[in-house]
Structure 1
Amino acid sequence: MRTEDLHSLTGAYALHALPDDERDAFERHLAGCATCDQETREFAAATARLGLAETLSPGPVLKDRVLHRITTVRQVPPDGGTAAKARRAAPRGRGLARWALAACLAAAAGLGGTAVWQYERAQDAGERATQAEQRAETLAGVLAAPDAESRTARLSDGASGTLVVSEDRDRAVFLASGMAEPPQGSVYQLWFDDHGTMRSAGLMDPGSTSQAVLMEGAVDGAAGVGITVEPAGGSDQPTSDPIALLSMPA
């Protein structure tokens, strides 16, 4: 594959839309191309922000219907790989429709995964649905806020993280892309850096490598954000050195 072709794959790579052979070739190229590295991180952050900003929350009627149906509908059996084979057989067009579809899927996966994980952690069925809906609305509101500012950083193992902050809303969202799963029995925990004092800002989903996380609590003048690896359930204070530190967007 020519270098010119590799330069054109930044958007598809950020959206995890490349087949294995192209992804491997691009990652080898990415290690030595600062321009593609920056463009890939910007694509990932922009896609999440634009997609989530257009998210609409379902009304109470739909919520009640879903809660009722999940107790009566049988699980669909595995398709035996039919979907995966269909994806591999699909035409490899690089037109606008492919990008639009990939962007929608990436945004839905990020928001959906976060909502489902937070849904499962709550205690009561009604409370689970309400909390997931409220958090999704707040998360989308931060990303769509007119004053939202972002900062993107390269993390370990090729992952990237973007911190989005709205001063007016006094809230922050962390967007992760390509993070390795934490060690067994551990979880990534987010922290606000209150000028030297670390304040817990919630846990990340240990089973998801790419996700959008509404950070818990107000920003309240924090100087930055840190990520540590903590025991399952989280810690009151960091018990490990941070794997990443991001200063607040200017």
Structure 2
Amino acid sequence: MSTAELHTLTGAYALHALPESEQRAFERHLEDCEACSQEVRELSATAARLGLAVAESSPRDLRERVLREITTVRQEAPAHGRRERTGGRGRTGRWYAYALAACVAAAAAFGGVAVWQNQLAQDARQEANQAQRQNEQLAQVLSASDAKTSSGELTGGARGTVVVSQSQNRAVFLASGMAPPPSGKVYQIWFNDEGTMRSAGLMDPKASDDAVLLDGPVDQASGMGITVEPAGGSAEPTSDPVALMDFPTA
């Protein structure tokens, strides 16, 4: 395996997706390649954070929704040991269970009765499925055989890494040590389409370290930028970029 090929294996190695022979070869390569070592550390840290994403915080309006619907929805009869099929014990099932447990805990904490309410259960299932799909797509980009990475320093000493896969036509941005945006603001990511900025999604304003699957295909974009925007984002940039990064080409 050539050195050029070894440089493309950082994402797959961080996700433990390499066959044993390629893993050994790549680990020998890491001893002499500081750039790949840095990328592996950043990608491994991101993979660990994604592993913790199975626990979801309950929405702020959950208490009001539960208490309001208690008065309109009849409580279901006991299931007598019946188990609902969840399609296996995979990640989706765990996320669904956590979300539903949050509903029950919130109702009990405010003096309510544990309620198995269909609409809340459906909302939790949809949110869990959406989170699973996004994490799966993010992992596919990081582990793609043609994934290419580019890293650089950002404003305030933060560090950013962008991973692009042409076969997936998607990109992932990994941030480390970013300062929180001003109150009422959010970091918004943009594709750079030959000077025209196309929205690629919002970053979590509470996370100094974040992994973001850019919203939409890469297509002909040559890079990305980050601006500070009002909460909820903007249709086009309204401030100077706090970061600009070119997409890797080789």
TM-score (norm 1): 0.60
Partner SS, residue 233 of structure 1: coil
CA drift of 1:55 comes to: 9.7
Change (3 A) 1:43 1:215: same
Q: Following the alignment from structure 1 to structure 2, what is the Cα–Cα distance between the partners of residues 53 and 182?
A: 22
Structure 2 residue 173 is the aligned partner of structure 1 residue 141: no
Structure 2 residue 109 is the aligned partner of structure 1 residue 68: no
| Identity rate, percent | 48
Give the counterpart of 2:44 among 37, 47, 52: 47
Deviations 1:56-76 (A, max 9, x none): 99344434433332223479x
Partner SS, residue 70 of structure 1: helix
Partner SS, residue 240 of structure 1: coil
CA RMSD of aligned residues (A): 3.1
Match of 1:241 in 2: 240
CA drift of 1:163 comes to: 0.4
Structure 2 counterparts to residues 143-222 of structure 1, below 5 A: 143-222=142-221
Give ranges in structure 1 of 5+ residues lacking alignment.
1-36, 76-122
Give ranges in structure 2 of 5+ residues lacking alignment.
1-33, 55-89, 108-121
Partner SS, residue 65 of structure 1: helix
Match of 1:18 in 2: none
Match of 1:25 in 2: none
Q: Following the alignment from structure 1 to structure 2, what is the Cα–Cα distance between the partners of residues 236 and 53?
A: 28
Partner SS, residue 168 of structure 1: coil
Q: Following the alignment from structure 1 to structure 2, what is the Cα–Cα distance between the partners of residues 39 and 60?
A: 32
Deviations 1:75-130 (A, max 9, x none): 9xxxxxxxxxxxxxxxxxxxxxxxxxxxxxxxxxxxxxxxxxxxxxxx93222111
Match of 1:131 in 2: 130
Q: Following the alignment from structure 2 to structure 1, what is the Cα–Cα distance between the partners of residues 182 and 36?
A: 30
Change (3 A) 1:40 1:229: farther
Change (3 A) 1:180 1:59: closer
Partner SS, residue 184 of structure 1: coil
Q: Following the alignment from structure 2 to structure 1, what is the Cα–Cα distance between the partners of residues 202 and 225?
A: 12
CA drift of 1:45 comes to: 2.7
Paired residue type of 1:224: G
Deviations 1:118-144 (A, max 9, x none): xxxxx9322211111100111111111
CA drift of 1:157 comes to: 1.1
CA drift of 1:53 comes to: 9.6
Contact 2:46 2:210 in 1 (8 A): no
Q: How many residue pairs were aligned? A: 168
Match of 1:230 in 2: 229
Contact 1:41 1:152 in 2 (8 A): no
Change (3 A) 1:72 1:170: same
Change (3 A) 1:158 1:124: same
CA drift of 1:235 comes to: 0.4
Change (3 A) 1:231 1:52: closer
Question: Greater CA radius of gyration, 1 or 2?
Answer: 2
Match of 1:33 in 2: none
Change (3 A) 1:167 1:241: same
Q: Following the alignment from structure 2 to structure 1, what is the Cα–Cα distance between the partners of residues 52 and 105?
A: 26
Partner SS, residue 226 of structure 2: strand
TM-score (norm 2): 0.60
CA drift of 1:204 comes to: 0.3
Contact 1:181 1:207 in 2 (8 A): yes
Contact 1:176 1:212 in 2 (8 A): yes
